[in-house]
Structure 1
């Protein structure tokens, strides 16, 4: 049986990444695998009754920069297991997590060029590649919706997801799904932040994302973009006072060792997006596409309930290490939502995304009704 081959422009990265992609040059091509002398009947007994044995074997190189045991990491592993089981091993996933192939920007560039096929990250890191992803940079816009309402919109077939998918396709990516469960990015700090006024002069590490930086500036803080690998030491030596991330990301990088407070600011939804290279997606057999979509759905169903537990466990790990949790009442969130700078930022984001933020808010409201 012939093997499907897709042209791939492999790039050499430093260290492990270079070795991984060098192996790819000799044995793997994007959405393909090295020839096998025996195709076997493994695909014929695949889950769901579909016969995958007649299809060419496919290997998907998958990457992310999520920390071990984080939601994104667990989602990737669950997807790998599901798609390999569904297809009886006709589709396999070569997974490299925890930044093995580079940071988020490196991974996204490799996805666009089809040097990797699967990429998982939070939406903010995709904004430079798919500008419409900036809708998720709108702060406080999801705070009033429960997890099921958000799920209905993000993983449903509706005007919002259709427009976002078209935007991804234009930029050589294809959205496979979203993972969230109504938890948020929170703030850790060495400065006590009990009121909005306390954020004045607060030096916070952010992603290199102008919308995130604009939010923190609007509420009086002083955002400082730093590479994620530098954050621990910047917190330790006082270069910055704090940072913002999902709790499991924070503990996955041991920030509880260098931070005093966990501030439940709930400013942005904690969500991960799974993308596949558009070039790879278009080259797949429709049965392969169906299997991948089914595997993503299974993995999401498996991991989604665990997110709340991950958040609870991470919070306990912080408090066990001596951190104090600061929580806020509704007046705090209302004060931020009514901040002129924050309102202006969200208006600008709606304009930048050609009204997509309005579409998202309308879909959320309709799903909640």
Structure 2
């Protein structure tokens, strides 16, 4: 009798426990559903933002600005975690990470996007854009920016903005003033057929290399030099191991701000609106300040006294134009003559 009573008490206790668990489960499910529909949920949305440059570059500063504004405009519902200096991914790996939603935001150089869509190689063409304003017109036009960003959707990617870094200059341990001075020099390039062709056209030996490896390669003499914006040269201390810097403005370097389409479209409406507002303000800031930052860091390079600055005359720069733009016809089929012509028409 006592044994039977104990068994009944144990069974009643187990039923009570299971009932309580079921009630808590229903409450949790309701809470989760409420959060997904814009209701009160204490769980923050984490956005990992991966990039490869230092914090004191235009992109690095923009990433930090976006973080602050995004967290403010979403009332703390979002936490943006910024990972600079290739801490998470190199440029060539980050698009796959975005597609897999391992990171939610990245701003790779346009050269990286060419691995998926060769039409983006437009941005690598030497002397295709006159200045930053010219690039902005291109990205805001349906013939160029609209077409290029729409392509990304096929790969579950969503293009959100274009951030300027500026125009590239040549740096080397051998002076470069005329096209003939390129001959035989081993120069680092981002992985891009156009950039390789650009340097081959003037007799140089282009060497594709990850951005994070450039300083040590310059220091050890593995390469003679390369091309980069002034902010990248300064922030990575390349000027400390380079004797010459030629102010050539021969090519544009910009970053496509990209996210995972499913992630972005699945955000609560109020959160997405807050992020869009933060992104728009950051993009405006980049447009206004990237040129200023490059100019400031040119002065710091001059003050360091380790690098001789070479200024080109209009005639000397035109010689570069004549020598390098011969590659346009080589890439008309790959990029699209319509895109090339549309960019040239903006001059």
Q: 8 Å contact 2:110–2:253 — kept in the other structure?
A: no
The runs of 5 or more residues in structure 1 that have no matched partner are: 1-34, 44-50
Relative to structure 1, the CA distance from residue 350 to residue 89 in structure 2 (aligned partners, 3 Å threshold; closer, same or farther) is: farther
Matches within 5 A, 1:20-35: none
In structure 1, the partner of 2:90 is: 103
Distance 2:40 2:343 in 1: 44
| Higher mean C-alpha displacement, 280-289 vs 58-67 | 280-289
For the pair 1:70 / 2:48, whether they are aligned, the reply is no
Distance 1:362 1:197 in 2: 26
- 1:326 pairs with one of 278, 285, 310: 310
Relative to structure 1, the CA distance from residue 115 to residue 363 in structure 2 (aligned partners, 3 Å threshold; closer, same or farther) is: farther
In structure 2, the partner of 1:186 is: 169
In structure 2, the partner of 1:347 is: 329
- 1:152 pairs with one of 137, 149, 163: 137
* Deviation at residue 67 of structure 1 after TM alignment: 1.7
Q: Which structure has the bigger radius of gyration?
A: 2
* Deviation at residue 157 of structure 1 after TM alignment: 5.4
For the pair 1:125 / 2:112, whether they are aligned, the reply is yes
* Deviation at residue 53 of structure 1 after TM alignment: 5.6
In structure 2, the partner of 1:15 is: none
Relative to structure 1, the CA distance from residue 210 to residue 296 in structure 2 (aligned partners, 3 Å threshold; closer, same or farther) is: same
Matches within 5 A, 1:21-60: 57-60=44-47
In structure 1, the partner of 2:180 is: 197
Q: 8 Å contact 1:62–1:118 — kept in the other structure?
A: yes
- 1:357 pairs with one of 295, 319, 339: 339
Q: CA RMSD in A?
A: 2.6
Distance 1:76 1:325 in 2: 30
- 1:83 pairs with one of 33, 56, 70: 70
TM-score normalized with structure 1 length? 0.78
In structure 1, the partner of 2:17 is: none
* Number of residues of Structure 1 aligned to a counterpart in Structure 2: 314
Q: 8 Å contact 2:189–2:209 — kept in the other structure?
A: yes
Question: What CA deviation, in whole Å up to 9, does each residue of 1:297-330 have, x standing for no partner?
Answer: 1012223322122212221222222211111122
- 1:140 pairs with one of 124, 127, 146: 127
* Deviation at residue 76 of structure 1 after TM alignment: 0.8
TM-score normalized with structure 2 length? 0.82
In structure 1, the partner of 2:3 is: none
Matches within 5 A, 1:186-265: 186-265=169-248
The structure with the largest helix share of the pair is 2
Q: 8 Å contact 2:77–2:271 — kept in the other structure?
A: no
* Deviation at residue 109 of structure 1 after TM alignment: 1.3
Displacement over 4 Å in runs of 4+: 51-57
